[in-house]
């Protein structure tokens, strides 16, 4: 997954907590927010939007992804033309020869499938646009207050803004969460984002699903190179399900490590570095 696409996870995680109380699009009031907290948030949002357009760096890294279904480790290689990843461990052990061969074939098929690549690029562009829209909504989607501040970091607390009018389906996920955001002040970057579901949430009176009280998410971002920030950890533990939002009810821990600049200039070179050339 490319660097820009991580913004969608970052923004959607917060906006998924926005409650729905009206069908019409309207402008929400952030009048209840602490002015200083709101100023810090807006500066961070603007920086994230600017850097998402400016940062075209590509990376290789180790991706440990643990879900209820499997515990897998992938090696990821990005390039300006896109990225590929290869499973190298499964459930704590190196993959067997059959899985390794299957991974080689899967990567090779993708590299030679122009339609699949175009579909992936279209999906990334769509996600990037959604991420930008969602980030712009953050000041109005919640009431923000300043919890603490040091020369290095500012910790903001957020709670639902009941005047917020979500403009699209992605922002209309009926959750009730509150939590906090940590901003690295030197770069105006979002460092930590966490929240907790404070009560059960029903979709269509429970017909279309329910999310259970106690669900949490925690997203950690770090500076992997000077002024380059990436999500390095994400922990999502939300019990329940929602038919229209298959990614909402989930249990997943993901850790990305061993970040290095990628030397791959093409998908073919990325695949070759993963032994699938």
For residue 128, is it within any domain?
yes
Domains of the chain: total: 1
For residue 22, is it within any domain?
yes
For residue 35, is it within any domain?
yes
For residue 244, is it within any domain?
yes
For residue 113, is it within any domain?
yes
Q: Dump pLDDT digits (tens) for 81-120.
A: 999 999 999 999 999 999 999 999 999 999 999 999 999 8
Domain span at 188: 6-273
What rounded mean pLDDT belongs to the chain? 81
Report H helices in the chain: 6-15, 35-54, 97-111, 114-141, 267-273
Answer yes or no: are the C-beta atoms of 179 and 160 closer than 8 Å.
no
Q: Dump pLDDT digits (tens) for 135-178.
A: 888 888 889 999 999 999 999 999 888 777 765 444 444 335 78
Task: Look at strands 250-261 and 228-238 and give their pairing.
Answer: antiparallel
For residue 202, is it within any domain?
yes
For residue 1, is it within any domain?
no
């Amino acid at each position: 997954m490319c660097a820009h696409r991580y913004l969608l996870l970052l923004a959607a995680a917060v906006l998924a907590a926005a409650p729905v109380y009206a069908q019409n699009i309207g402008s929400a009031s952030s009048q209840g927010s602490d002015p200083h907290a709101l100023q810090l948030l807006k500066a961070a949002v603007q920086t994230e939007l600017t850097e998402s357009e400016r940062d075209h760096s590509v990376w290789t890294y180790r991706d440990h992804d643990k879900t209820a279904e499997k515990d897998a480790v992938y090696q990821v290689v990005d390039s300006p033309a896109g990225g590929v990843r290869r499973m190298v461990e499964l459930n704590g052990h190196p993959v067997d020869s059959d899985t390794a061969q299957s991974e080689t074939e899967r990567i090779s098929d993708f590299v030679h499938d122009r339609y699949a690549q175009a579909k992936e690029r279209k999906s990334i562009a769509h996600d990037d646009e959604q991420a930008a829209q969602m980030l712009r909504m953050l000041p109005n989607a919640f009431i923000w207050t300043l919890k603490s501040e040091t020369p290095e970091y500012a910790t903001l607390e957020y709670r639902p803004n009941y005047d917020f009018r979500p403009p699209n389906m992605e922002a209309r996920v009926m959750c009730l969460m509150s939590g906090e955001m940590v901003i690295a002040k030197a770069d105006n970057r979002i460092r930590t984002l966490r929240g907790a579901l404070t009560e059960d949430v029903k979709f269509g009176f429970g017909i279309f699903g329910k999310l259970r009280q106690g669900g949490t998410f925690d997203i950690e971002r770090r500076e992997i190179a000077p002024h380059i920030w990436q999500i390095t950890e994400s922990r999502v533990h939300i019990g329940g399900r929602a038919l229209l939002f298959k990614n909402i009810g989930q249990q997943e821990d993901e850790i990305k490590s061993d970040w290095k600049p990628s030397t791959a200039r093409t998908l073919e070179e990325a695949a070759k570095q993963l032994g699938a050339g």
